[in-house]
Amino acid sequence: MKILVLNSGSSSLKYQVIDMETEEILAKGCFERIGQPNSFLTHKVNTQKHTFEHPAKNHEQAIAFVLSRLTNENYGVLQSLEELGGIGHRVVHGGEKFSNSVIITEEVVEEIKKCADLAPLHNPACILGIEACEKIVPNMKMVAVFDTAFHQTIGKEKYIYPIPYKYYKKYGIRKYGFHGTSHQYVSSRVAQIMEKDIKELKIVNCHLGQGCSVCAIQGRKICRNKYGINTARTEYLWEAEAEI
């Protein structure tokens, strides 16, 4: 089975096509400056990078062009879109509603929209990507994978802030976590490489990039998490404060 994975940003679209049988990345790329002048696509396949200047006023036009490259006889990795088994969307914030990945339905889209206030720079872009795919490939199965899902394993005594409880009840103000897909995968790989049951391990897991976060993981649950913002460097990474 071949899967298309999309990460929709406010003015960008990152993607990969993965052969799930071999776990090989067949193609990857990034469409930049969506909705702006001089938008362009960087498309990588067979170790070769191709750059296309192409106008894209919105995510629908960007995704349509990406799909045309994936099926192109010179740059593509698919004979047709029917080869795709599905499309996966990375969604930044699922609030308290989503603790696992889910098949995308109208109800799921509405719930993601409700979480937009918790991630105003990210969730609206995710919705644009989902809605664009619904128009272009309407019969394709799609799955939403949430950055916050893994962090739903943290205990209530850790995610409730020491502020009036009414703010949590009324506005949903609580500690969430980010880069959950990264933390979940890396901790699982640690257990696999060490040839140990993850339930027996205590792990401090670091995600370092333009955004950074640290999680203390015991078994398959998060004991403590910290999320820091950096600008170009990782000097502002917060301390893990892991009690493990």
Q: Which of 19, 117, 147, 197 is catalytic?
A: 147
Q: Is residue 178 in a domain?
A: no
Q: Is residue 47 in a domain?
A: yes
State yes or no: is 197 an active-site residue.
no
Assign 3-state DSSP to the chain and report helix, strand, coil percentages, each to 5.
30, 30, 40
- Structural domain of 65: 1-146
> Which positions ≥6 away from 78 have C-beta within 8 Å?
2, 17, 70, 71, 84
Instruction: Compute CA 166 distance to the chain's CA centroid, rounded to the nearest angstrom.
Output: 31
Q: Is residue 50 in a domain?
A: yes
Crossing angle of helices 123-136 and 59-70, in 10° steps, is 60
Q: Is residue 155 in a domain?
A: no
Q: Is residue 9 in a domain?
A: yes
Q: Is residue 19 in a domain?
A: yes
Q: What is the pLDDT along the chain (244 residues), one digit of tens a residue?
A: 999 999 999 899 999 999 999 999 999 999 999 999 999 999 999 889 999 999 999 999 999 999 999 999 999 999 999 999 999 999 999 999 999 999 999 999 999 999 998 899 899 999 999 999 999 999 999 999 999 999 988 888 889 999 999 999 988 889 988 899 999 999 999 999 999 999 899 999 999 887 889 989 987 777 767 665 433 333 333 333 333 3
- Entry pTM: 0.86
Domain count, the chain: 1
Q: Is residue 238 in a domain?
A: no
Instruction: Report the CATH number at residue 120.
Output: 3.30.420.40
Q: Is residue 202 in a domain?
A: no
